């Protein structure tokens, strides 16, 4: 049997787009395939969230499945798709094998993930049945996503005659995730002695990014071919093997796809970025150029009295190297006008005032032009609250939201090496500063970023206690300060823009914390 | 057996506060009780969210349980408390009966709610055991919250000898919720022939408000006594019966407790409110006065060129009647300075500019004084995006977030009737307007609020499709416009402040929608 894996990019909720996409791929690969396999919930996109509670949405999805059944009459091959299926008022995360005008076979997900970014027990019930699906005289053992991560389903499918494992996924990207997928796939192959075909979607959906990296594993556990990461691709037995790129490239691609798809899927084309001469906005601009093209990225430098000539030079140089339009709008007169009206404004209020006048300037420009503001606070800033609410936190999407500052540096280095120093070297090597008061640097308020990020990763990704981190050799005062900042900045994160998940524990969907929280 | 129900107000994460609270109530009622019953997860507060994933948090909670066991040696009565319990690496939502220095009996929750505001399958495993707990020669059938909402647990407890049902809750308020609780309780009583004691917590925890309303139901299904709503209270067989107040009073109490506890539990005392002369900010100010006292509420009127004398008079009159400090800070010169710098600013951008300069003014004041900004967009506005991101949406908490505009009017009427016209009648009767351009009224952009709210309630709470709503007699064009606005405003709601849940489906925690959403 000739099986083709379709690594596609559905849009959540856009049932017609997803239907057209399936039909287009089907038509293109009909003559060279017996079966074309699409990802989990490809009809609806993943995750549809509470759209799944809307009965009309489920009816509309069922209607698209009927259209695919009708369409299948004109095709010689069959398709295997993921789709929600309502059976007697209970919703399943199902896989349907459709061909010759009918549903040839079906199964559904047994293990419903309800951790991390996932809430599937909010929507679905578990399948109870472990039948394999017979097609062209061969028995397929179909796994839906999480079912590949446990031994029981594959093993029962094998008991029920399965000769090959076919696994449909909506598996979000994070650093190191693909190796964990391969480990699980190898375990299932070793347990059953069956080859395994893995198809994942690609695309950005709000915070979650799918990297694809679909693969075919033979019954010895060798990858015979693997699809391109972060790109639509078609995989069959004869396809090339695309290895995973290094970590920095993966991060860059994830953030780029996140921004690109957020724009496309919300019907937007152009972005504005406040370019400060610092590293975060420089990288965000580079990502935006990669995602949208240089002609869709507009940079605005908004100096105040505290902005150095060095920052002005670096910002202008960066815009020039990235070949994006660049404009300077000073906020100095606005700051002066405000302080003249309210002369008591000082200290942190005066610093935030500058940041908020920049936000106001960008948002006004956004309202006038229809271009979306990209916000650029990295994970170290989001964690510690080193960002101004309604100031530099203004914006529709944040490609850096889940990148630690240390990662930002590494990604910049990788980007410059591979793209020819488009980010001025001085931006990477100079001391980071918010320039909201004279001679300020980030390290006036925060520990050095290598220390800070080490502590934050232990607090967030590893969920260690301050005491455990101190026992690992970090300074007591520093750890306790960082843990306190992380806790009290929750109210800011609650009002932050969505951004691309990169790590194993992104804020918001994957780290759900109370704001009013008395835990010390 | 003399059983006392302790309707208390724990703080999420504040283990020492909650421990002290339990010990204090225990001491106060020790001599008049044999058993004192506390709400679900009273040691941690509810919902602790991802704190439950932190192992040190669980260890610290277990330590507080050990302290209670030690404390129990000094007491003649016992307590029944809700607390997370780790048994061999699996976490249960448990109930422990503690007395005489030990755990006398224990059970845990079987039905884990994973819908609406609840994510319990993210944290807990289901209890498998249905034993009753023997205490003083009597068998208690202990239900943990959701277990009261299904017949099986109470029925099996009865089979296992239970002579009385004792039910521990963390049951969030919403309009109509208490009647549904009573219906379920009566069903359990009818099925088992046993009396039922229901203890719920009170308090605000970010978006979720608990109303208490604990009650004792005899085996005929009569309520013999019921605790005060929205207040800490102690209930025993001899207590008075406090009936539920009317809907408007419930809403007012919920929003008040939500704001009050958000402030207290985040260590804040004072608030700033932008008073526009409109009904939303007037009601928000009244709520803040009730929650925090008039001397902790500061109102700022921020007129622009489009602010009418009527609005200035109404705002001043409102502040005077509420006896709160009041200040006028014109944004007109700032608007002029901005437009002079950037003369192309017009239309929606010019409207948003005014709203954002008000937000900036309030936030600067907030930074200078430490007072938190209260934001006041009602549910109709949050739903349709009729609010400016980083403008009037600035603020730490929104007591009106889940009140439809029609509810705002009704609550104002109730408030004036019971509090002596503290909100000027003209604010209630005049046409609502944002005053961001000449002669603007809300109804230039939105359908009349009774129509709008009728449509929104059907889209949100009833999850009906536009077609179903049109079939009920609403205008096609209007319904489709409102449905579209609801969809495209998701990005604004993602960045909105938390606020008090009032309805059966509050935004954010209870209506989880994608921003990039192609569903038409």
Tell me, what's the pLDDT at A312?
Answer: 97
> Does residue A276 sit in the same domain as residue A410?
yes
Q: Taking residues A485-505, report their average pLDDT.
A: 98
B-chain residues within 8 Å CB-CB of A436?
none
Q: Taking residues B423-427, report their average pLDDT.
A: 98
A-chain residues within 8 Å CB-CB of B497?
494-495
User: Is B122 near chain A, with CB under 8 Å?
Assistant: yes
- For A:125-164, CB contacts with B below 8 A are none
Least CA distance to A372: which residue of chain B? B491
> Does residue A164 sit in the same domain as residue A224?
yes
Query: How distant is the Cα of B28 from the closest Cα of chain A, in angstroms?
Result: 25
Tell me, what's the pLDDT at A198?
Answer: 98
Peptide bond into A47 cis (omega under 30): yes
Answer yes or no: is pLDDT of B445 > 90: no
> Does residue B34 sit in the same domain as residue B133?
yes
Query: How distant is the Cα of B16 from the closest Cα of chain A, in angstroms?
Result: 9
How many Å apart are CA A494 and CA A473, to the nearest integer?
32
Q: Taking residues A469-476, report their average pLDDT.
A: 98
| Interchain contact, A495 vs B495, CB within 8 Å | yes
For residue A150, the tally of other CB atoms under 10 A from its CB is 15
Q: Which of B348, B354, B515 to mutate to test the interface with A (most CBs of A within 10 A)?
A: B515
Is B68 inside a domain boundary?
Answer: yes
* Least CB–CB distance from A265: residue in B14, B367, B518: B518
Q: Is A401 a catalytic residue?
A: no
> Does residue A276 sit in the same domain as residue A239?
no
| Interchain contact, A361 vs B342, CB within 8 Å | yes
* Least CB–CB distance from B206: residue in A334, A352, A516: A516
User: Is A89 near chain B, with CB under 8 Å?
Assistant: no
Domain of residue B295: give its range: 270-446+489-494
Q: Which single residue is written with the structure tokens 């799944």?
A: A52
User: Is A345 near chain B, with CB under 8 Å?
Assistant: yes
Number of residues assigned to chain A: 520
Tell me, what's the pLDDT at B457?
Answer: 98
Strand duo B196-200 + B215-217: pairing: antiparallel
* Residue A33: both structure tokens together: 């395939």
Q: Taking residues B256-275, report their average pLDDT.
A: 98
How many Å apart are CA A379 and CA A398, to the nearest integer?
10
> Does residue A295 sit in the same domain as residue A398?
yes
Q: What is the CATH number of the domain that holds A18?
A: 3.60.110.10
| Interchain contact, B518 vs A334, CB within 8 Å | no
B-chain residues within 8 Å CB-CB of A53?
463
Query: How distant is the Cα of A238 from the closest Cα of chain B, in angstroms?
Result: 35
Which of B326, B331, B362 has the alpha carbon at shortest distance from A349? B362
Is B278 inside a domain boundary?
Answer: yes
How many Å apart are CA B332 and CA A309, to the nearest integer?
32
Is A456 inside a domain boundary?
Answer: no
> Does residue A49 sit in the same domain as residue A145?
yes
pLDDT category, B357, cuts 50, 70, 90? very high
pLDDT category, A416, cuts 50, 70, 90? very high
Answer yes or no: is pLDDT of A444 > 90: no
Q: Taking residues B375-393, report their average pLDDT.
A: 98
Least CA distance to B333: which residue of chain A? A337
Is B411 inside a domain boundary?
Answer: yes
* Residue B74: both structure tokens together: 């000094």
Which of B253, B191, B200, B256 has the alpha carbon at shortest distance from B226? B200
- For A:352-371, CB contacts with B below 8 A are 352-353, 356-357, 359-361, 363-364, 367-368
Answer yes or no: is pLDDT of B402 > 90: yes
Candidates B145, B318, B394, B412; catalytic one? B145
User: Is A17 near chain B, with CB under 8 Å?
Assistant: yes
Query: How distant is the Cα of B470 from the closest Cα of chain A, in angstroms?
Result: 14
Q: What is the CATH number of the domain that holds B393?
A: 3.40.50.620
* Least CB–CB distance from A491: residue in B349, B396, B518: B396
> Does residue B217 sit in the same domain as residue B325?
no
> Does residue B286 sit in the same domain as residue B374?
yes
CA atoms lying within 13 Å on the CB side of residue A242: 19
Q: Taking residues A281-303, report their average pLDDT.
A: 98
User: Is B309 near chain A, with CB under 8 Å?
Assistant: no
| Interchain contact, B390 vs A50, CB within 8 Å | no
Give how far the C-alpha of residue A459 lies from the chain's centroid of Cα atoms, to the nearest Å.
21
Q: Catalogue the E-assigned strands of A118-267.
A: 133-135, 138-144, 164-169, 196-200, 202-205, 208-211, 215-217, 223-226, 233-235
Cα angle at B140 between B139 and B146, to 5 degrees? 150
Is B197 inside a domain boundary?
Answer: yes
Tell me, what's the pLDDT at B85?
Answer: 98
> Does residue A228 sit in the same domain as residue A257?
no
Mean pLDDT, chain A, integer? 97
Tell me, what's the pLDDT at B480?
Answer: 98
| Interchain contact, A519 vs B119, CB within 8 Å | no
| Interchain contact, A367 vs B349, CB within 8 Å | yes
Tell me, what's the pLDDT at B444?
Answer: 87
> Does residue B18 sit in the same domain as residue B121?
yes
Is B479 inside a domain boundary?
Answer: no
Give the domain-ending residue among A189, A210, A244: A244
Q: Which of A507, A516, A520 to mutate to test the interface with B (most CBs of B within 10 A)?
A: A516
Answer yes or no: is pLDDT of A172 > 90: yes
pLDDT in tens, A85-144: 999 999 999 999 999 999 999 999 999 999 999 999 999 999 999 999 999 999 999 999
Is A359 inside a domain boundary?
Answer: yes
pLDDT in tens, A450-468: 999 999 999 999 999 999 9
Q: How many CB pairs under 8 A join A and B?
A: 213
| Interchain contact, B463 vs A338, CB within 8 Å | no
Q: Which of A361, A362, A519 to mutate to test the interface with B (most CBs of B within 10 A)?
A: A519
Answer yes or no: is pLDDT of B168 > 90: yes
Query: How distant is the Cα of A82 from the closest Cα of chain B, in angstroms?
Result: 18
Domain count within chain A: 2
Mean pLDDT, chain B, integer? 97
User: Is A484 near chain B, with CB under 8 Å?
Assistant: no
Tell me, what's the pLDDT at B108?
Answer: 98
CB A167 within 8 A of CB A143: yes
pLDDT in tens, A299-327: 999 999 999 999 999 999 999 999 999 99
* Least CB–CB distance from A115: residue in B122, B364, B495: B122
Q: Is B40 a catalytic residue?
A: yes
How many Å apart are CA B107 and CA A56, to the nearest integer?
41
pLDDT in tens, B283-342: 999 999 999 999 999 999 999 999 999 999 999 999 999 999 999 999 999 999 999 999
- For B:206-225, CB contacts with A below 8 A are 206
B-chain residues within 8 Å CB-CB of A15?
518-519
Tell me, what's the pLDDT at B193?
Answer: 98
Least CA distance to A347: which residue of chain B? B368
Q: Is A467 a catalytic residue?
A: no
Least CA distance to B394: which residue of chain A? A390
Residues 6+ apart with CB under 8 A from B227: B5, B7, B212, B213, B214, B215, B233, B234, B235, B239, B242
Is A469 inside a domain boundary?
Answer: no
User: Is B462 near chain A, with CB under 8 Å?
Assistant: no
Answer yes or no: is pLDDT of A445 > 90: no
Q: Taking residues B425-430, report their average pLDDT.
A: 97
Least CA distance to A15: which residue of chain B? B519
Q: Which of B53, B519, B520 to mutate to test the interface with A (most CBs of A within 10 A)?
A: B519
B-chain residues within 8 Å CB-CB of A334?
334, 337-338, 341
What letter does residue A77 receive in the DSSP assignment?
A: S
B-chain residues within 8 Å CB-CB of A495?
495-497
Give how far the C-alpha of residue B253 lies from the chain's centroid of Cα atoms, to the nearest Å.
10
B-chain residues within 8 Å CB-CB of A55?
463, 465
How many Å apart are CA A287 and CA A410, to the nearest integer?
14
Q: Taking residues B222-245, report their average pLDDT.
A: 96
User: Is B499 near chain A, with CB under 8 Å?
Assistant: no
- For B:262-291, CB contacts with A below 8 A are 262, 265-266
- For A:383-442, CB contacts with B below 8 A are 389-390, 394, 396
CB B313 within 8 A of CB B301: no
Of A346-360, B305-319, B426-440, the poorest mean pLDDT is in B426-440
| Interchain contact, A390 vs B360, CB within 8 Å | yes
A-chain residues within 8 Å CB-CB of B519?
12-15, 51, 57, 60
Q: Taking residues A431-447, report their average pLDDT.
A: 90
Tell me, what's the pLDDT at A104?
Answer: 98
| % of chain B beyond a pLDDT of 70 | 100
> Does residue B214 sit in the same domain as residue B291?
no
> Does residue B234 sit in the same domain as residue B299?
no
Which of A225, A149, A218, A230 has the alpha carbon at shortest distance from A187? A149
| pTM for the structure as a whole | 0.97
Tell me, what's the pLDDT at B447?
Answer: 94
Cα angle at A258 between A255 and A261, to 5 degrees? 145
Give the residue ranges of DSSP H helices in B420-497.
Answer: 425-429, 449-460, 466-471, 476-488, 490-494
Query: How distant is the Cα of B337 from the closest Cα of chain A, in angstroms?
Result: 7
């Amino acid at each position: 049997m000739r099986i083709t894996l379709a690594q596609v990019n559905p849009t959540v909720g856009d049932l017609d787009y997803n239907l057209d996409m399936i039909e287009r791929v089907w038509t293109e690969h009909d003559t060279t395939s017996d079966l074309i396999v699409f990802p989990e919930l490809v009809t609806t996109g993943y995750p549809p969230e509470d759209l799944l509670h809307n009965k009309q949405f489920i009816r509309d999805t069922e209607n698209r499945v009927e259209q695919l059944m009708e369409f299948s009459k004109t095709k010689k091959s069959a398709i295997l798709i993921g789709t929600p299926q309502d059976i007697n008022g209970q919703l399943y995360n199902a896989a349907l094998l459709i061909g010759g005008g009918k549903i040839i076979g079906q199964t559904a997900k047994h293990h419903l993930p309800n951790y991390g970014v996932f809430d599937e027990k909010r929507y679905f019930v578990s399948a109870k049945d472990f039948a394999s699906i017979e097609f062209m005289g061969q028995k397929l053992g179909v796994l839906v996503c999480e079912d590949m991560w446990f031994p029981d389903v594959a093993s029962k499918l094998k008991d029920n005659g399965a000769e090959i494992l076919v696994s449909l996924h909506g598996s979000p990207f994070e650093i190191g995730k693909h190796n964990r997928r391969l480990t699980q796939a190898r375990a299932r192959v070793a347990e059953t002695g069956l080859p395994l075909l893995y198809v994942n979607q690609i695309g950005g959906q709000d915070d979650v990014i799918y990297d694809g990296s679909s693969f075919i594993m033979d019954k010895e556990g060798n990858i015979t071919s693997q699809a391109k990461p972060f790109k639509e691709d078609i995989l069959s037995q004869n396809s090339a093997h695309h290895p995973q790129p290094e970590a920095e490239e993966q991060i860059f691609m994830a953030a780029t796809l996140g921004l690109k798809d957020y724009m496309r899927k919300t019907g937007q084309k152009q972005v504005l970025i406040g370019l400060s001469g610092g590293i975060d906005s420089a990288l965000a601009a580079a990502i935006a150029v990669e995602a949208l093209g240089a002609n869709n990225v507009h940079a605005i430098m908004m100096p105040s009295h505290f902005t150095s000539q060095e920052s002005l030079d670096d910002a202008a140089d960066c815009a020039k190297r990235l070949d994006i339009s660049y404009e300077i709008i000073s906020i100095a007169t606005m700051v002066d006008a405000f302080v003249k009206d309210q002369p008591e404004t000082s200290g942190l209020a005066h610093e935030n005032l500058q940041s908020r006048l920049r936000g106001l300037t960008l948002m006004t420009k956004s309202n006038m032009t229809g271009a979306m503001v990209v916000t650029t606070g990295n994970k170290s800033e989001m964690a510690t609250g080193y960002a101004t609410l309604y100031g530099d936190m203004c914006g529709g999407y944040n490609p850096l939201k889940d990148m630690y500052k240390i990662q930002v540096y590494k990604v910049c280095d990788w980007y410059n090496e591979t793209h020819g120093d488009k980010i001025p070297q001085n931006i990477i090597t100079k001391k980071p500063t918010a320039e909201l008061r004279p001679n300020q640097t980030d390290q006036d308020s925060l520990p050095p970023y290598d220390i800070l990020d080490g502590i934050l990763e232990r607090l967030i990704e590893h969920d260690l206690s301050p005491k455990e981190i101190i026992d690992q050799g970090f300074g007591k005062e520093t750890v306790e300060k960082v843990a306190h900042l992380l806790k009290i900045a929750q109210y800011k994160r609650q009002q932050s823009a969505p951004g691309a998940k990169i790590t194993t524990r992104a804020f918001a969907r994957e780290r759900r914390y109370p704001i009013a929280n008395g835990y010390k």
